[in-house]
Amino acid sequence: MSTTTITPPPAVAAIATRALTLTNVLYTKQGAIAYVTVNRPKVLNALNVPTWQELQAAFADAQNDPAVRGVILTGAGDKAFIAGADIGGLAQASAIDAERSSRFGQQVLDLIENLGKPVIAAINGFALGGGCETAMACTIRIAVEHARFGQPEVKLGLLPGGGGTQRLPRLVGKGRALQLILSGGLIGAQEARRIGLVNEVVPAADLIARAEAILNEIVANAPIAVTYALDAVNKGMETSQNEGLALEASYFGLCAGTEDKREGTSAFLEKRAPHFAGR
């Protein structure tokens, strides 16, 4: 019988964060929310190595900053979230370079998916190739009405290299994922919502405000419970149901020993709003 090893997600700790100097990514913080914006609108926010590196730096900072409780990821301009990889650079890549690039991109997206804090993709336009893969690594996806999604790598003689062959079937099912991956076709925001790729479709003017509203609703809850719940879902997706249930019970027990649990249950019984401390 297989067993599940319990590795708690990173604890919320007071870790000093260094100032970041970024060129291709805008990174700001306001209250409990960090904002990460891919800032290459002239090339539809295409991903190249420096941009991947800056995304990694921004999300590592957000992960280590105890004041940050959630992140909104979007693209600059009104045409694209991320329109995929920088094809010019990809055209010159050797097989070894391509595999190395794929592994690094996967590493960055694993960081986003397992940040220990919710990440909302505010999809403001094209989310193609690596852009669709980046969105899928986020906790929740909100899209504007004109957004378009796809994994068109086969049209370039490639296949998705940033987790698309793995995350897409888990989100929309094997059949729908294979149709998108093998055809290289694009779908609109409403179809993406219908198949489960997108959580909500909103008018462009409401995109960031809606993402903030969702995060603020999450931020009002106990920080440790949110972190463990995220980890339980993510790890549970990679195990059997029995192993996932064991993990859930272990995290349930860990949460029961926190000050936040005592505060949450006391507040409920006393009919008042809770004041969570993340302990």
Angle between helices 49-64 and 95-113 (to 10 degrees): 20
Q: Are 51 and 16 in contact, with CB atoms under 8 Å apart? A: no
Any catalytic annotation for residue 259? Answer: no
Give the active site residue among 113, 133, 145, 248.
Answer: 133
Q: Are 51 and 38 in contact, with CB atoms under 8 Å apart? A: yes
Q: Tell me which DSSP letter residue 178 carries.
A: H
Any catalytic annotation for residue 217? Answer: no
Give the active site residue among 54, 99, 145, 153.
Answer: 153
C-alpha 158: how far from chain center? 24
Sign of CA dihedral 76, 41, 133, 188: positive
Which residue type is seen at 219? V
Q: Give the C-alpha separation, 124 to 144, whole Å.
A: 5
Catalytic residues: 133, 153
